[in-house]
């Protein structure tokens, strides 16, 4: 019995073999260090969303105040050439302004032309490019205004319904090209003498002479009357847009008239 007690004591003092060795419990500090670190995704996403929303709000407010400032400081706007455009019905048409209109032309109660039917507004510079009575009739109009004007033959397409004979000067190079386009034939300037050319309006021109060093060609043209010559014209006009001429353009036009 003594030997067995002694053996038990010895077994308690000796280290355990294989997997039977006792493990000491881990401390609280060791347990905390071994735990995996968890990243909280939702707070980060919410923060990013808040930043984006704030950015949109700031951009929207900036756009609104810039637009308000633009309307306050320049209620007329500008076109692509820097000319003032009336957007608030605050200005009226003057000569040399560029305007956009809808119109309807009637002659003797019969409709002859209408931009309304085509749904394509007509743009022109007041004082050129159209008959005098049409330009004079839109002066003073404002955007949105409608007006009916009656144009006499003198301010329209003329009173003379007969043909005219006019001396006209053209570029010699352009004339030779024009002849080639009409006939498909290539001719020298000398070969063109006394040959006839026809205008798009139905006129007949005879090539009379040229000055090669000045690229100048002289024609004698028989010009037929305009179909509306001698007629009184009635226009119904609606002003759509006004683009004001810059001051230096107006000054230059006045100077040209004086010269």
Whether 33 is in a domain gets the answer no
Token reading at 245: 């001429």
Whether 97 is in a domain gets the answer yes
Domain check: are 237 and 145 in the same one?
A: yes
Question: How high is the pLDDT of residue 118?
Answer: 92
Question: How high is the pLDDT of residue 76?
Answer: 47
Domain check: are 177 and 216 in the same one?
A: yes
The reported pTM is 0.47
Question: How high is the pLDDT of residue 37?
Answer: 52
Domain check: are 63 and 151 in the same one?
A: no
- pLDDT tens column, 239-249: 999 998 775 45
- Judged by DSSP in three states, 244 sits in strand
Tell me the CATH number at 143: 3.10.50.40
Q: Which of 52, 73, 94 finishes a domain?
A: 73
Whether 105 is in a domain gets the answer yes
* DSSP-assigned states of every residue in 155-201: GTT-S--S-EEEEEEEEHHHHHHHHHHHHS----HHHHTT-EEE-TT
Q: How many domains in the chain?
A: 3
> Which contacts of 112-118 are long-range, i.e. CB under 8 A and separated by 24 or more positions?
112/228
Domain check: are 46 and 97 in the same one?
A: no
Domain check: are 136 and 236 in the same one?
A: yes
Whether 252 is in a domain gets the answer no
Token reading at 127: 């004082």
On the 0-12 / 13-18 / 19+ scale of CB atoms within 10 A, 219 is buried
Domain check: are 154 and 168 in the same one?
A: no
Is 90 exceeded by the pLDDT of residue 220? no
Largest CA distance in the chain: 157
Domain membership of residue 145 as a residue range? 84-158+230-244
Phi and psi based region of residue 116 (left: phi greater than 0; alpha: psi -120 to 50; beta: remaining): alpha
- pLDDT tens column, 69-127: 444 434 445 544 444 445 556 789 999 999 999 999 999 999 999 999 999 999 999 98
Whether 236 is in a domain gets the answer yes
Whether 144 is in a domain gets the answer yes
Mean pLDDT of the chain, nearest integer: 76
Domain check: are 53 and 68 in the same one?
A: yes
Whether 176 is in a domain gets the answer yes
Domain check: are 207 and 237 in the same one?
A: no
**Which ranges of the chain does DSSP label H, i.e. alpha helix?**
2-13, 28-34, 41-73, 115-118, 132-138, 172-183, 189-192, 247-258
Domain check: are 177 and 235 in the same one?
A: no
Across 128-148, average pLDDT: 93
Token reading at 113: 């032309």
Domain check: are 236 and 121 in the same one?
A: yes
Domain check: are 102 and 154 in the same one?
A: yes
Residue 159 or residue 259, greater confidence: 159
Question: How high is the pLDDT of residue 221?
Answer: 83
Whether 91 is in a domain gets the answer yes
Question: How high is the pLDDT of residue 158?
Answer: 85
Q: Provide the 8-state DSSP code for 78.
A: B
Domain check: are 175 and 152 in the same one?
A: no
């Amino acid at each position: 019995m003594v030997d067995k007690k002694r053996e038990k004591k010895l077994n308690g003092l000796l280290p355990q073999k294989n997997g039977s060795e006792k493990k000491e419990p881990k401390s609280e500090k060791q347990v905390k260090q071994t735990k995996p670190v968890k990243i909280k995704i939702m707070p980060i996403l919410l923060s990013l969303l808040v930043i984006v929303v704030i950015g949109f709000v700031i951009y929207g407010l900036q756009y609104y105040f810039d637009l308000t400032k633009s309307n306050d400081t320049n209620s007329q706007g500008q076109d692509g050439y820097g000319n003032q455009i009336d957007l608030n019905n605050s200005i009226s048409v003057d000569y040399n302004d560029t305007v956009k209109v809808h119109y309807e032309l009637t002659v003797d109660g019969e409709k002859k032309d209408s931009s309304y039917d085509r749904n394509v507004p007509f743009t022109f510079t007041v004082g050129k490019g159209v008959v005098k009575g049409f330009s004079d009739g839109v002066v003073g109009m404002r955007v949105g205004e409608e007006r009916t004007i009656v144009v006499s033959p003198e301010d329209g397409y003329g009173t003379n319904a007969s043909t005219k004979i006019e001396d006209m000067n053209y570029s010699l190079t352009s004339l030779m090209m024009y002849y080639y386009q009409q006939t498909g034939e290539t001719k020298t300037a000398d070969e063109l003498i006394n040959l006839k050319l026809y205008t798009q309006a139905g006129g007949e021109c005879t090539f009379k002479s040229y000055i090669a060093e000045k690229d100048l060609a002289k024609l004698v043209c028989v010009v037929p009357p305009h179909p509306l010559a001698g007629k009184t014209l009635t226009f119904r006009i609606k002003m759509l847009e006004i683009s004001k001429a810059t001051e230096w353009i107006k000054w230059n036009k006045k100077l040209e008239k004086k010269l």
